Chain A
Amino acid sequence: MNKYIETIGIEVHVELKTKTKIFSSSINGYGASANSLTNLVDLGYPGTLPTLNKEVVNLAIKAAKVLNCSIRREMYFDRKNYFYPDNPKNYQITQNRTPIGYDGYVEIEIDGKSKKIAIEEMHIEEDTCKSTHRKDVTLLDFNRAGVPLIEIVTKPCIESPEEAKLYIEKLKSLLLYADISDCKMEEGSMRCDANISLRKNIDDPFGTKVEIKNIGSINNVKLSLLKEAERQSILLDRGEKFSEETRRFDNKNNDTVLMRVKEMGNDYRYFPEPDIPKLVLTTEEIEEVIKTIPMLPDERRKIYREKGLNEINISKLIQNKKLSDYFNTLLDSNIDFVVASNLLLGDISKYLNEEEKNIEETSLTKERFISLVNKVSDKTLTSKNIKDILNELLENDASIDDIIKKAGIKNITDSNIIIDVVNKVIDNNLDSVKDYLNGHDRAIKYLMGQIMKETRGSVNPALANKTLIAELEKRK
């Protein structure tokens, strides 16, 4: 199996998150009743002409930027001509000669090393309508016709199914972060086709290429490529020749299935779209759009590492863009970021998930959160306290001090008092002390429980624990 070199190229279609369609004023939406989001332009009625939605161009500029592409300043649209019932005009408006973005890359991390996946080009085009084939009829839903797409094409530079998977994951997180697409593979707003060929030696020409169309999930990207590589290597082992073909991944059989053998020279009769004049982008326009791109995951990761967050918290934050954005508003304040990240990803996240709320929908303003973090840092509040007053913190506007006062929290932080309590407990539980001195650490837990009981939970646990160990050590 491993004696062949795998070469993979990936094409991804992504639906852009615009209000309206690319060439008409119809709403761009998913899940509406069939053919309710269409107009005469989408249906290709005689006499209709395309208009160009500026929002599409702006999102494409953003995409080109986050994929590290060069952005073209002067571009045309082209017609791709083919007859199919899902293609209302029987031509699709796309960018064949002058894709808006070219020569980019997406950086992935594989086996602890970073690798750049080269992007050949990315272009703007319109989606087709959705056709459903039943026994005797074909049903057409034109809601999708004219939904804006960008198609992102890699160079044949991906060397394993795992790399392919990592690339798609990274691509998705970039597009999500820049708010370009909602990237839902299950709803078809992100669609993936992969090409794979095998060859024996690095100096050999590329082997026969097989395309796997419309892969429905990120895991299946990897799985289908593994299966296809296996299928091809078996054929090659046997010395069998096979032709270029299009396959799809069948979930049930867990294998790729032949769709059609590729006919050579598929002729799309491309020519410049005469209804849309040359599109010219000025440097100012491009800069204006680029300014709106939020901080991307890689940069966030770098900053969070600098702030001392652990890798688990970093990953969790990056996966939750809303929390990460909130966290980023704190970056210039002088607080303990580890405490802040623990608070956000712990009790606060739990609350948000349970209540199905966003952090902005709570009363926890930046100022109140900073104050809260500081109360934890200076041991005024324990994690138990936080749990007790969480609803107050997130639902009321009162100051943190008022909430603490109202809840009657008075944590003992005075070390003299703590020492007194600790010694009182030690004196009353000499058996446990003996256990501790004999090396039974579990005695600590018991003694801590006694301290909490004595202080009715108002002593700072960390401080008490530290003091207890110090006092026990003295009795050695």
Chain B
Amino acid sequence: MTRYLDLTVKEINEKLKNKEIKVVDLIKESFERIEKNADLNAVITLNKEEAFKTAEELDKKEVSSLLFGMPIIIKDNINTKNLRTTAASKMLEEFMPLEDADVVKKVREANMVIVGKANMDEFAMGSSNQTSFFGPVKNPWDKTRVPGGSSGGCASIISSRSALFALGSDTGGSIRQPSSFCGIVGLKPTYGRVSRNGLIAFASSLDQIGPMTRNVYENALLLNEMVGHSSLDLTSVKQEKEDFTRFIGKDISGMRIAIPNFYVSKDIDKEIRDKLSNVIDILRDKGCTIDYVDIKYIDKCVLLYQIIAMGEASSNLARFDGVRYGYSYPNPESFDDLYLKTRKIGFGNEVKRRIMIGSYLLSGENAKIYYNKALQIRDDVRKNFLKIFEDYDLIIGPTTTTKAYPLGVDLDDAVKSFLDDILTIPVNMAGLPGMSLPIGFSSDHLPIGMQIIASPMAEAKIYQLGSFIEKTLNLDLNPKVGVYDE
């Protein structure tokens, strides 16, 4: 059995260019690893046939770029043409998109090979990957623990080196929190950076697709290919082409970095705070300024999130009614019967709970009291963050309050599952880019992550600091599961 997927992308690229290996070899290894790690339950649909066909075609072409021929996995709420896209829901168990998402088109244009669709929380609602209709995903570092969510399948796949790249989505932390739990690098870009066209909407004003990878450099490489304005998404931002790797390796001394006091409270696991302190010491030694700051309303963001995300979700998911596509209750007595039974059977409990709360929050006068008010405060949150960025280059803090917890723990504790995202949600509220990267391990050897947050469109700066920290810590982030057991 080969171990090419343990190499860096640059090393693999050299081997491809030298014709030492072929794209088909990479893809074969990717599928072998996924199969050996079947117990992680990280994949909903494999794309074997098409992947090998693409690989064979690529092997006839010249190796044109670093991402050429690289295996990538796509979260199952991102549409892939003629490849089942379920959003991990019974509702879309058989759903076959007729179009690629914008971002999937870009990935194909970059000559990457889609190996499959990653498991996730149903409609991206959850933070432990336990709400999937296709069963929970497991954490490669400890298979009795959750990988985080909702992009848990992506995180598990990248962590286990079953594919090198993944596209996740992040509404309140769904890329960063599982990246933290699984010891990988995950970035939520600036809202509007990446087209949402083809992403099955959860909360439209918060959703953003982002790259999940083994390391910072490869993350920037993938983001390079993902971004750009789309005429099909009015919330996508007009932007200049830029190379997100351009600051990687550049000196960080003199950087001004802020830490919100809220991000170092006693509610955060001590081991996590210790690892962050270690990073802070390293940065100070390197000549960075680190100040503790207060950001008004940052502590209210979970509440804002619940109102905005559930309100929008209740409307976004109304289209799943059994009339045009997806699960449809057979032989209904009436339209009302069709709606009721299709949605009762087609949606899981967490999704139904959020739809109900969201509908309530938008009912009658509630929309004014809750949703519109939440939008106003959210504007303030954004302004408060931007004010910090007048004085600081970046904001840092932990990604999560805890390390990965055992499967089954917070399944019925709706409030706790939102507290998982207490440190990631403010970034979505303010529409900022934020990245999680590993900074160490707990005493029981579970990954711990930190978050780096930048002003809008300043992802390159995140990568600059992130790559420095990554290089300095030089952690071994391969859990060595599956193929390594032999």
B364 at the interface (CB under 8 A from A): yes
Complex Cα gap A387–B152 (Å): 85
Other than A83-B335, A85-B321, A89-B319, give 14 A-B pairs with Cβ distance below 8 A: A40-B99, A43-B324, A47-B78, A47-B99, A49-B196, A85-B323, A88-B319, A88-B324, A89-B318, A267-B363, A269-B362, A271-B362, A275-B233, A275-B234
CB distance from B122 to the nearest CB of A (A): 13
Known: A47-B101, A272-B375, A274-B204. A81 touches B231 (CB 8 A): no
- Contact among B233, B312, B325, B367 with A270 in the assembled complex (CB-CB below 8 Å): B367
- Contact among A47, A269, A270, A277 with B359 in the assembled complex (CB-CB below 8 Å): A269
Across-interface contacts of A138 in B (CB, < 8 A): 335
Which A251-310 residues sit within 8 Å CB-CB of chain B? 265, 267, 269-272, 274-277
B315 at the interface (CB under 8 A from A): yes
A13 at the interface (CB under 8 A from B): no
- Contact among A44, A50, A271 with B367 in the assembled complex (CB-CB below 8 Å): A271
Across-interface contacts of A472 in B (CB, < 8 A): none
Complex Cα gap A175–B235 (Å): 32
Across-interface contacts of B234 in A (CB, < 8 A): 49-52, 275-277
- Contact among B79, B323, B324, B362 with A47 in the assembled complex (CB-CB below 8 Å): B79
B174 at the interface (CB under 8 A from A): no
B339 touches A83 (CB 8 A): yes
B325 touches A140 (CB 8 A): no
Across-interface contacts of B320 in A (CB, < 8 A): 46
B205 touches A46 (CB 8 A): no
A45 at the interface (CB under 8 A from B): yes
A271 touches B311 (CB 8 A): yes
Complex Cα gap A185–B321 (Å): 32
Per-residue CB proximity of B314-358 to A under 8 Å, as 1/0?
Answer: 110011110111100000000100010000000000000000000
A277 touches B319 (CB 8 A): no
A271 touches B318 (CB 8 A): no
Q: Which residue of A lies closest to B311 (CB)?
A: A271
Across-interface contacts of B85 in A (CB, < 8 A): 46
The count of residues in chain A whose C-beta lies closer than 8 Å to any C-beta of chain B is 32
A44 touches B339 (CB 8 A): no
Across-interface contacts of A275 in B (CB, < 8 A): 201, 204, 233-235
B200 touches A46 (CB 8 A): yes
Per-residue CB proximity of B22-51 to A under 8 Å, as 1/0?
Answer: 000000000000000000000000000000
B87 at the interface (CB under 8 A from A): yes
Across-interface contacts of A84 in B (CB, < 8 A): 335
B95 at the interface (CB under 8 A from A): yes
Across-interface contacts of B231 in A (CB, < 8 A): 51
Which A120-146 residues sit within 8 Å CB-CB of chain B? 138, 140
B97 touches A44 (CB 8 A): no
Of A43, A83, A91, A138, most B-chain CB atoms within 10 Å? A83
CB distance from B146 to the nearest CB of A (A): 26
B232 touches A46 (CB 8 A): no
B163 at the interface (CB under 8 A from A): no
Complex Cα gap A210–B234 (Å): 40
Complex Cα gap A89–B314 (Å): 12
Per-residue CB proximity of B248-282 to A under 8 Å, as 1/0?
Answer: 00000000000000000000000000000000000
CB distance from B80 to the nearest CB of A (A): 10
What are some 26 contacts across the A-B interface (CB < 8 A)? Answer: A40-B98, A40-B99, A43-B324, A44-B324, A45-B97, A45-B324, A45-B325, A46-B319, A46-B320, A47-B78, A47-B199, A49-B196, A49-B197, A49-B233, A51-B234, A81-B362, A85-B323, A89-B319, A265-B364, A269-B359, A271-B312, A271-B315, A271-B372, A272-B375, A275-B204, A276-B234
Complex Cα gap A225–B201 (Å): 45
A90 at the interface (CB under 8 A from B): yes
Known: A47-B79, A277-B235. A83 touches B315 (CB 8 A): no
Which B216-240 residues sit within 8 Å CB-CB of chain A? 231-235
A70 at the interface (CB under 8 A from B): no
A79 at the interface (CB under 8 A from B): yes
Across-interface contacts of A52 in B (CB, < 8 A): 234
A81 touches B99 (CB 8 A): no
Across-interface contacts of B203 in A (CB, < 8 A): 274
A positions within 8 Å CB-CB of B: 40, 43-52, 79, 81, 83-85, 88-91, 138, 140, 265, 267, 269-272, 274-277
B425 at the interface (CB under 8 A from A): no
- Contact among A48, A81, A276 with B315 in the assembled complex (CB-CB below 8 Å): A81
Across-interface contacts of A271 in B (CB, < 8 A): 311-312, 315, 362, 367, 371-372
B449 at the interface (CB under 8 A from A): no
B124 at the interface (CB under 8 A from A): no
CB distance from B88 to the nearest CB of A (A): 13
B92 at the interface (CB under 8 A from A): yes
Complex Cα gap A48–B201 (Å): 9
CB distance from A39 to the nearest CB of B (A): 9
A47 touches B201 (CB 8 A): yes
B149 at the interface (CB under 8 A from A): no
Q: Which residue of A lies closest to B358 (CB)?
A: A269
Complex Cα gap A222–B264 (Å): 71
Complex Cα gap A43–B325 (Å): 10
A47 touches B97 (CB 8 A): yes
B198 at the interface (CB under 8 A from A): yes
Complex Cα gap A270–B201 (Å): 18
B319 touches A44 (CB 8 A): yes
Per-residue CB proximity of B69-103 to A under 8 Å, as 1/0?
Answer: 00000000011000001010000100101110100
B315 touches A46 (CB 8 A): no
Complex Cα gap A138–B323 (Å): 11
- Contact among A49, A50, A91 with B318 in the assembled complex (CB-CB below 8 Å): A91
- Contact among A43, A47, A85 with B198 in the assembled complex (CB-CB below 8 Å): A47
Of A45, A48, A88, A271, most B-chain CB atoms within 10 Å? A271
CB distance from B241 to the nearest CB of A (A): 23
A47 touches B363 (CB 8 A): no
CB distance from A365 to the nearest CB of B (A): 43
Across-interface contacts of B371 in A (CB, < 8 A): 271
B318 touches A83 (CB 8 A): yes
CB distance from A138 to the nearest CB of B (A): 8
